[in-house]
Amino acid sequence: MNAARAPKRLIRAEAVLAARRRRFVIVLEDTHDPHNMSAVLRTCEALGLQDVHVVSQGDTPTRINKDVAIGAHRWLTLHHHVGAKNAVRALRTAGYKIFVSQLSPDAVPLPALPRDVRAAYVFGNERAGVSETWVEHCDARFVIPTTGFTGSLNLSVAAALTVYDRMLAPSHAHLEPGDLSARERAALRAIWYKRLAHGNAELEEAYDRFLDDPPAPEHTFPVNRTVE
């Protein structure tokens, strides 16, 4: 290992990489508010998800509020799909079950969904919800239980609660190790190291030397920590 002489930012990158996961993903369809989209990306990146799927009805570029996202999108893998059918096909090919957030009589509470499956959690437009295609092809519809007069949650809040429930609730706030393969980590490492160099050719060359022999991860954020 090159830990003794590795830049701190690469050591931190390895810690983030070790915690990354693809076991479940968030899907956003036709998000109306760039603030909501950006908040979801920030939550996903902060909690260790690697993939977010963005579904639109055309070639409209994803609008990101940089003040909200604070660069989170730079470390995520964003998958863009034109239309729900293409998104469903891609998710099924990748082996995901599809769970759709929808206020409907047959929707089950989020905590009741199986946790040990590879799954995509789909959130629709803030105004109209998910399109009918998702309902036709989903494995289940779910709701986040509420008890107040307000019967629904803001999109970014709903996505954040879903990520929390799927990742942290089962283990009592203990973050589990990531699930990326060695090949997937290597691919992301090459992208991240380049971005960490911020366009500096000398740093890029220096960081490239660590690609085949990366430093050991050093966690500088709480992992498996409880209050006693």
Q: What is the pLDDT of residues 211-226, one digit of tens each?
A: 999 998 875 444 444 3
Which residue has tokens 């957030």? 101
Is 26 part of any domain? yes
Is 60 part of any domain? yes
- Residue 228's pLDDT is 34
The Cα–Cα gap between 23 and 30 comes to: 23
- Residue 137's pLDDT is 95
- Residue 226's pLDDT is 39
Q: What percent of the chain has pLDDT over 90?
A: 64
- pLDDT tens digits, one per residue of 172-214: 445 567 899 999 999 999 999 999 999 999 999 999 999 999 9
Is 12 part of any domain? no
The number of folded domains in the chain is 2
| Residue 126 and residue 64 share a domain | yes
- Residue 65's pLDDT is 87
Please name which of 4, 10, 15 lies closest in space to residue 204, comparing C-alpha atoms: 10
Range of the domain at 80: 22-171
Q: In the structure, what pLDDT confidence band is assigned to residue 23 with cuts at 50, 70 and 90?
A: very high
| Residue 49 and residue 145 share a domain | yes
Is 55 part of any domain? yes
- Residue 4's pLDDT is 58
Residue bearing the bigger pLDDT, 85 or 64: 85
Helices and strands counted in the chain (H then E)? 8, 7
Contact 121, 138 (CB under 8 A): no
| Residue 192 and residue 153 share a domain | no
| Sequence-distant (≥ 6) Cβ neighbours of residue 130 within 8 angstroms | 29, 84, 100, 101, 102, 122, 123, 124
- Residue 227's pLDDT is 37
| Residue 94 and residue 34 share a domain | yes
State which amino acid sits at residue 218.
E
Helices (H), the chain: 8-19, 34-46, 66-69, 84-93, 132-137, 155-167, 182-196, 201-208
Please name which of 96, 108, 106, 105 lies closest in space to residue 142, comparing C-alpha atoms: 108
**Residue 120 belongs to domain with CATH number:** 3.40.1280.10
Residue 39: half-sphere exposure toward Cβ, Cα within 13 Å? 14
Please name which of 15, 7, 5, 34 lies closest in space to residue 216, comparing C-alpha atoms: 15
| Residue 77 and residue 49 share a domain | yes
Is 15 part of any domain? no
| Residue 134 and residue 110 share a domain | yes
| Residue 55 and residue 130 share a domain | yes
- Residue 63's pLDDT is 83
Is 42 part of any domain? yes
Is 6 part of any domain? no
| Residue 103 and residue 191 share a domain | no
| Residue 158 and residue 61 share a domain | yes
